[in-house]
Amino acid sequence: MKQLNKWTKVAGGMALLLVLFTGCLKTEEFPPEPAIAFKSFGQFPDSASLAITFTDGDGDIGLAQDQTYAPYDTGSIYYYNFYMDYFRKEAGAWVFKGAIGNRIPVITPSGQNKALEGEIARRIESIQIPGFPQPWYGGLDDAEEGDTIRFDVRIIDRALHTSNMVSTGDIVLQ
């Protein structure tokens, strides 16, 4: 009986140490402004995919579908929270061709630690790129296979903090 009691105390002590140790682990801390980094860009016959990674210290990334009141109303720049500025290289210089806006859905975590870290991937269809009929890369002026484009990306959180801007770099249309 004494042997069983001794092992119970050892196991209880180990469990207590484990609880104390995990309670002392640091949680990720990021600034309240979102920060993004370019991850990848992929081309497909009828679309493209752009992926970024992000961090946000207060976890207020995303908008609910019914969140269309000011400042998120349809007439506001804050209606969208994911922007891709589209450029095409013409005669060696980048020329701005338009912006594509999307809404990231709410991804705020539950619990006390609201810090977010993750990845956002966006599908880019031909109808999202001004002047691009099928296939997704053809048709803007005389855009064709072999042309060079790029996207500059930024996100905005619900507190209206704008992230840094990241660029895809040169993309040769295939």
Q: What average pLDDT does range 151-164 have in this prediction?
A: 96
Give the pLDDT confidence of 19-43 residue by residue, as tens digits: 555 544 456 788 889 999 999 998 8
Instruction: Report d(CA 85, CA 96) in Å as an integer.
Output: 7
In this prediction, residue 114 has a pLDDT band, given cuts at 50, 70 and 90, of: confident
Count of positions (residues) in the chain: 174
Q: Is the pLDDT of residue 60 over 50?
A: yes
Full-model pTM: 0.76
The candidate with the shortest Cα–Cα distance to 154, out of 85, 89, 64, is 85
Instruction: Report d(CA 45, CA 35) in Å as an integer.
Output: 31
In this prediction, residue 134 has a pLDDT band, given cuts at 50, 70 and 90, of: very low
In this prediction, residue 141 has a pLDDT band, given cuts at 50, 70 and 90, of: very low
CATH fold label, 29-172: Immunoglobulin-like (2.60.40)
